[in-house]
Amino acid sequence: MWGRGITCVRESRMSWMCAGEMGVGPAVTARRAHLLKAGVHCRMRAFVCLAAVSAGSWLYGARYETGHFVIDSPLDARYVAVMERNVEGYYSAMVGEWFSAGWDRPLTIVYLERQADTQKLLGNGQKIYYGIYMPSKDTVYTHRLMDDGSLSGWGTLFHEITHHFVAVNFENAPLWFNEGLTCLLSEQSRMVDGRLCMGYPNPWREAALREMIGKGYKADVGEIVGMSDAAFRADRNSYHPVRALFYWLYETGVLKAYIAAAGKDGYGLAVMERVCGSTRGGMNAALGGFIERDCFAGALLHEAQRTQDAAAKKAMVFEAMQLKPGYRAAELEAARCLFREKDYAGSAAMLAGILQAGACPEYKDALNLRGVLCYVQRKFGEAAEWYAAAAEASAYSEYAYQNSFWLANCWLGLGDREKAAEWFAHFLANNWEQEQTRDWVARSREFLEKYEEE
């Protein structure tokens, strides 16, 4: 069975081969480039499922069994291999560090292409946004794309998985606690070099929180921790201040102590006051100041990323960096602003903090942008080094294959057609987005065809 109302009508064993790790350079003969193939990272059973949720509706998918998850998805196996690395990495980061217990029976993840696909599959009258966790089924339902074409992202998947952690480790946790902890641990969190990087502003949520405050809302710790489940569900804006509360607890270094105390002594205000060593009024003042600095920095970044006004974008990004020094996401956006102005030296200097920090979600994008900066100045040797470093740092990125295309172009710029052929072949072997990258695919195939004829 794969979700409600679905019957497996055919199951067969099959082998599926996909490209190897991005950080490994492909080997090809001197005169002929062949597509590379290596085993996918998780065992797979292929099957075709009939979905009874809509007349004449079929869903084609495959089942992937990992250490702690069963993934049912119709997406390309190369994409799912990256997903597997992310969810298993996230699981390892949670157990012991944030939750005392994991699980023995695998959690099922139903991962579809679009929001509408998940809505159609469930068909239960409940509006599906980013995803949903169904504890009665030990199943997470989510998708790669929203209806407007935007990415749902790994954060959504982490979010629903975290709900399962809460269910396993806490008994009758109030909804505000469940969602606050889940939002903090999952949103804007990314696996980097085998570790979880977390604890950052969530720009769109911070923008919503700033709008609430502009309309007169004041975050009150007592009101938040006293919120009933019904009151929380009644207002979708409840998520914003409760995430801010947990983000503040994390930044002040008391979140782990609070989680332990709440699980033992309850979730009320007295426990929060004891852990924080402050009164309700003192906590409210500290939380309010934190929101105006860290959260509002995220709100500014959100606005900057949405505006088409270059001057306004740059001004908001630099204001965000002033509010929150060391805000790497804002630094990356600032570097992009300077790049668009053709201030290449300034863009490179702006990336220095990210590159020095290393373990942050923006690291691979900073490496990639350094490659772009060199490439547009025709410094192909330096560009190749940066792109290679970006490839090595992209094991958890579904877009890692794109580095191969630019490495191929760097070698073309250096006049080494053999290495260019290797990387064009590597790009084609790893590219799971054939339609979205059809121009790149066409250029790669055209080169390889001519190369083979030489």
In a domain, 25, yes or no: no
Query: What is the reported pLDDT for 10?
Result: 26
Query: What is the reported pLDDT for 410?
Result: 98
Query: What is the reported pLDDT for 61?
Result: 81
In a domain, 372, yes or no: no
Cα–Cα distances (Å) from 413 to 410, 420, 448, in that order, read 5, 9, 16
In a domain, 397, yes or no: no
d(CA 249, CA 240): 15
Query: What is the reported pLDDT for 31?
Result: 33
User: Residue 245: in which H helix or E strand, if any?
Assistant: helix 239-251
Cα–Cα distances (Å) from 320 to 136, 142, 201, 249, 310, in that order, read 42, 32, 11, 21, 15
Q: What is the DSSP letter of 146?
A: -
Q: Distance from first CA to last CA of the chain, Å, rounded?
A: 53
Domains held by the chain: number: 1
Smallest CA-to-CA distance from 135 within 166, 173, 114, 99 is with: 166
In a domain, 193, yes or no: no
Structure confidence by residue, pLDDT tens digits, 402-425: 999 999 999 999 999 999 999 999
d(CA 21, CA 38): 9
* Sequence-ordered list of residues with C-beta below 8 angstroms from that of 58, at least 6 positions apart, any chain: 48, 49, 50, 51
In a domain, 98, yes or no: yes
The CATH code of the domain that includes 69 is 3.40.30.160
Query: What is the reported pLDDT for 79?
Result: 96
Query: What is the reported pLDDT for 454?
Result: 83
d(CA 401, CA 81): 13
Residue 11, beta-bridge partner list: 47
Residue stretches of the chain with pLDDT short of 50: 1-60
In a domain, 122, yes or no: yes
Q: What is the pTM of this model?
A: 0.86
- DSSP string across 69-92: EEEEE-S-HHHHHHHHHHHHHHHH
In a domain, 68, yes or no: yes
Give the domain range for residue 124.
48-169
In a domain, 278, yes or no: no
